[in-house]
Structure 1
């Protein structure tokens, strides 16, 4: 993302990769010089933040300004007070499973467990120096009575740095291969640091965006809170990001501007996977991204309304794209039951999914449910033989294949065997968990680095529902859509989900405009047919969204009016909690 966005050169019907919430002038500050001047006024500060931040770069840039101004600085670096690397590795080992395991379990430690806390808290400001700074992840654990500057880092930038070997996990001194680093980030580092961020939220005075190696933008927390309050009453769109994959296609790359075209494909768009998406604020053209959890910590009641007590600060609905256009089939897979994901991985909700067909070619297919003749023992034997001997499996002997059509909704409650076939653009509407995919068969292909992709037959067979077979699949796992409301130029279509899904789906179809009440519920939305729409909420906020852009109307918005900007009928998907 650029440091500054002077003007947006996109048409109203073009997908925007840098959606912003504009603040008043003078709210986002640019550069280390401006941050240094803030620190000079305070004299003693805590600079805390996320894993993956280039702490040495920040220290060096600030120190240059202090030196130029003849100021002495006492730097206390948190990395000095981490426990020995092997001691930390022993502490977190129970949460990482075996080295070859794809998943771990959410860490139940606290961030301070990784530090030599007595030594750390014993480091006090030096009255003989002009400035005192404790810097690094966990800096607020020092206990200093000082303003906290929190340096946030978007998850996509963190993963780019990880793959480049530019960062390590928290408490590690060596770079590992990306597979193990991501697992440790997901199950340990992110858990500890998210909890820490929540605990110190009231102490934070400044939030900075650490995604640029040589620059920084920052904002006062009070001004960020004003922006979050504004979003929580109106419309939210996170910054999307895009990832290639072994089965990836070309719909995203060919139809979305301003993304890197120098990739083999795009398999995913992280439209709304909030553990890894951020919110972008703008002032005077300067951009600042913060993680979505700031909004949920600050405004969960306004966002989720009647469901806030149940889900707390965990946003429960996910939207993402699976792009197999001119690509390949996804693996034959299933997802864990609620008890299984809670007992084995420490999650609170499970990966219940649906596939909404946003676009597809003729004869595109979705694999879903078992053939009536399925024999579990035989199926497992064939899968294990394929994994062992690299044999192809005629998968339709066991799993049903269904023709996909635009606007179909395929229902995938946990335990259901499924896969998206080639030549689809799938809008995956799901519960938020997103990495717990048990692959049984992956068409004998390698990943983009030329390595075999993990197969998880044991986990899959601990969760597969073999009763979802035969005629039951058509009856129960393909949504039967019906019109439940209509007027002269609009229709409301119910696109029902499975009884096990805790969310439901409507499609609003209209020619001109239509007004919708939130009834104190959050709506997750996307224009799935048409060129562009405008949404105007009850508080007067107005925003335009193009085809395939995801946006969220929080419960506190109360009502909104959708206006069709195109010449043909607009169709908008609305997912909401039951």
Structure 2
């Protein structure tokens, strides 16, 4: 699945101690020189380069080797690939988590990377008498607990999700136990097993790490002492946090984005993620280049970021996400072109039972822009024969058209400010001719998507190589879709799922609204209208995701410490940490502005 990063106004500028800033290096030669100087200073003979999938470990090793040889040091490198069990044993271990479900798996909630390592190979490494001055062991798993006392220096090399996914989709990702890419590596292997092994190994390795490397751009490494890295994370969670947005083409991809952003190579836009766990973060700490980290890294400070309730109830989970769904077409198109697939989402009980995930997918649609024919599909018509609908969907399996599909699914006219509450099991879909702010719970620590597709109009989908709608039809999830189905009809949608905004506070110059809700929904949708400024508050316990839907620019400033601030553009979001407390929104545009806020009900 192709995706494009949008880094416009994504930089987070923070301050760290100037003495720690001196412990940060940018550029491959500076990185190599600093590491070798430290190796010589510590008289190190064995070092580990631990890290995430996607890192070019061999390149980092070669940089260290070349620099060390300038000092007449002999260097031997050893890849972690030789430490693993056989590929057959790894496949056998992973099978439990891949399952026979064609679309989803079972989260490996308690495994560790050492489960895949060969005890004999670990002992051989411990017993190895290297004839070189320096032994460099590199790759995922080299700094497991069983080897923790082996090294004089431990380096963690990190990589963000998007470029790693590009490697995976292009058949270039090097998996556990190999030095070569696996062209057949399957996404389920990562999202249900490998991610969790990497994540837990990172958590352990961090307790031993001396240096951190941002290895996202292999030609432009950034190195910092782990003390400087920790100070950076400590400081980052004090600020509102902007993330690097991602944009993805798809079968309902539309074109409003062309008026808003210049994204090279993107020819239509279906999804646009504004905030969520799978995005990366760019941090300016006062160097010529920013540091690029995974959002999972700031989850090292859960109490500050998500608050005590989330930390205790859903450990390690970043529970909310925000998407912007394009829907503008310069010329009229049929519903079968402008609409998302007809689909639904699972409850917490469903994902726990079927996928071992912690939280269900609870969703809302907030209409940001509407154009002629703006539409949302939601619920079944009162007279729809639901047994017939299921029969038609199963018979089609999205391979043949259901000519009368509109006889079953209710279409709603929409306008700006409309909100749709979409609890699990509710049949729905973006109908097009509108732009939607989609605000949801995030069910997965890894960022796994849980949408159960029922019918996608038997259309071809997007081929990003040819930039045409000529790829195979999307696969459906019919068993899950109908197993999860609540069969909600239009009357229920009208009475319970289309809430009104209720004013909570205001003085004419600002207004704070909270939308009506229903018990099934675990979060509130709020919005703040302002002429010049307006107050906000996380109450020390509610992480919020704030999106500017009207106006040009808004600056968010802490009342406790005005140094802590950020500025977002229209249709950009930021994460306000639970610990941020009272703050002020300042409208920078000279005309009215409005932010829409997503937060959990419990904190």
TM-score by length of 1: 0.91
**Which one of 349, 353, 371 corresponds to residue 381 of structure 2?**
371
Corresponding residue for residue 102 of structure 2: 101
Corresponding residue for residue 498 of structure 1: 518
Of 246-255 and 133-142, more deviation after overlay is shown by: 246-255
Corresponding residue SS for 1:89? helix
Q: Deviations over 1:46-74 (max 9, x none)?
A: 11001121222222232222233321113
Q: CA deviation at 1:389?
A: 5.9
Corresponding residue for residue 356 of structure 1: 366
Give the 3 Å change call, closer, same or farther, for CA 542–328 of structure 1 in structure 2.
Answer: same
Alpha-carbon distance between aligned partners in 2 of 1:366 and 1:285, rounded to the nearest angstrom: 46
Q: CA deviation at 1:268?
A: 1.8
Q: Deviations over 1:218-274 (max 9, x none)?
A: 2222222222222222211122222222221222243124x32x2321222221121
Preserved CA contact (<8 Å) 2:344 2:481: yes
Preserved CA contact (<8 Å) 1:28 1:283: no
Corresponding residue SS for 1:120? helix
Corresponding residue for residue 312 of structure 2: 309
Preserved CA contact (<8 Å) 1:233 1:539: no
For residues 447-486 of structure 1, the aligned pairs below 5 Å read 447-449=461-463, 450-466=471-487, 468-486=488-506
Corresponding residue SS for 1:423? strand
Corresponding residue SS for 2:125? coil
Give the 3 Å change call, closer, same or farther, for CA 70–424 of structure 1 in structure 2.
Answer: farther
Q: Deviations over 1:81-131 (max 9, x none)?
A: 111112111110121123x71111112432111111331243137464322
Alpha-carbon distance between aligned partners in 1 of 2:123 and 2:347, rounded to the nearest angstrom: 43
**Which one of 498, 504, 529 corresponds to residue 509 of structure 1?**
529
Corresponding residue SS for 1:452? coil
Corresponding residue for residue 39 of structure 1: 35
Alpha-carbon distance between aligned partners in 1 of 2:167 and 2:181, rounded to the nearest angstrom: 14
Q: CA deviation at 1:496?
A: 3.1
**Which one of 551, 556, 568 corresponds to residue 530 of structure 1?**
551
Gaps of at least 5 residues in structure 2 are: 1-5, 330-336, 464-470
Q: Deviations over 1:292-333 (max 9, x none)?
A: 122112x11111234232233211111112223226211000
Of 469-478 and 164-173, more deviation after overlay is shown by: 164-173
Gaps of at least 5 residues in structure 1 are: 1-9
Corresponding residue for residue 267 of structure 1: 270
Preserved CA contact (<8 Å) 1:534 1:545: yes
Corresponding residue for residue 133 of structure 2: 130
Give the 3 Å change call, closer, same or farther, for CA 280–542 of structure 1 in structure 2.
Answer: closer
Corresponding residue for residue 576 of structure 1: 599
Q: CA deviation at 1:529?
A: 0.5
Corresponding residue SS for 2:420? strand
Give the 3 Å change call, closer, same or farther, for CA 34–45 of structure 1 in structure 2.
Answer: farther
Preserved CA contact (<8 Å) 2:420 2:497: yes
Q: CA deviation at 1:18?
A: 4.4
For residues 139-178 of structure 1, the aligned pairs below 5 Å read 139-141=142-144, 142-143=147-148, 144-171=150-177, 175-177=182-184
Corresponding residue for residue 81 of structure 1: 83
Q: CA deviation at 1:20?
A: 4.8
Corresponding residue for residue 114 of structure 1: 116
Preserved CA contact (<8 Å) 1:169 1:184: no
Corresponding residue SS for 2:397? helix
Verify: 1:337 aligned to 2:347, yes or no: yes
Corresponding residue for residue 225 of structure 2: 220
Of 189-198 and 106-115, more deviation after overlay is shown by: 106-115
Alpha-carbon distance between aligned partners in 2 of 1:324 and 1:288, rounded to the nearest angstrom: 34
Corresponding residue SS for 1:364? strand
Alpha-carbon distance between aligned partners in 1 of 2:359 and 2:571, rounded to the nearest angstrom: 26
Corresponding residue for residue 561 of structure 2: 539
Corresponding residue for residue 565 of structure 1: 588
**Which one of 442, 446, 449 corresponds to residue 435 of structure 1?**
449
Preserved CA contact (<8 Å) 1:279 1:291: no
Corresponding residue SS for 2:218? coil
**Which one of 64, 70, 73 corresponds to residue 72 of structure 2?**
70
Corresponding residue SS for 1:123? helix
- Equivalenced residue count is 559
Corresponding residue SS for 1:236? coil
Q: Deviations over 1:309-360 (max 9, x none)?
A: 2233211111112223226211000112222211211110011111111223
Verify: 1:426 aligned to 2:436, yes or no: yes
Preserved CA contact (<8 Å) 1:51 1:189: no
Of 341-350 and 303-312, more deviation after overlay is shown by: 303-312
Q: CA deviation at 1:19?
A: 4.6
Preserved CA contact (<8 Å) 2:398 2:474: no
Alpha-carbon distance between aligned partners in 2 of 1:127 and 1:515, rounded to the nearest angstrom: 63
TM-score by length of 2: 0.88
Of 212-221 and 545-554, more deviation after overlay is shown by: 212-221
Alpha-carbon distance between aligned partners in 1 of 2:227 and 2:403, rounded to the nearest angstrom: 58
Alpha-carbon distance between aligned partners in 1 of 2:24 and 2:152, rounded to the nearest angstrom: 22
Alpha-carbon distance between aligned partners in 2 of 1:360 and 1:224, rounded to the nearest angstrom: 44
Of 242-251 and 468-477, more deviation after overlay is shown by: 242-251
Q: CA deviation at 1:27?
A: 5.2
Give the 3 Å change call, closer, same or farther, for CA 427–117 of structure 1 in structure 2.
Answer: farther
Alpha-carbon distance between aligned partners in 2 of 1:146 and 1:272, rounded to the nearest angstrom: 39
Alpha-carbon distance between aligned partners in 1 of 2:91 and 2:423, rounded to the nearest angstrom: 36
Preserved CA contact (<8 Å) 2:275 2:575: no
Alpha-carbon distance between aligned partners in 2 of 1:205 and 1:425, rounded to the nearest angstrom: 47
Alpha-carbon distance between aligned partners in 2 of 1:195 and 1:438, rounded to the nearest angstrom: 29
Corresponding residue for residue 458 of structure 2: 444
Two-structure CA RMSD over aligned residues (Å): 2.2
Verify: 1:487 aligned to 2:510, yes or no: no
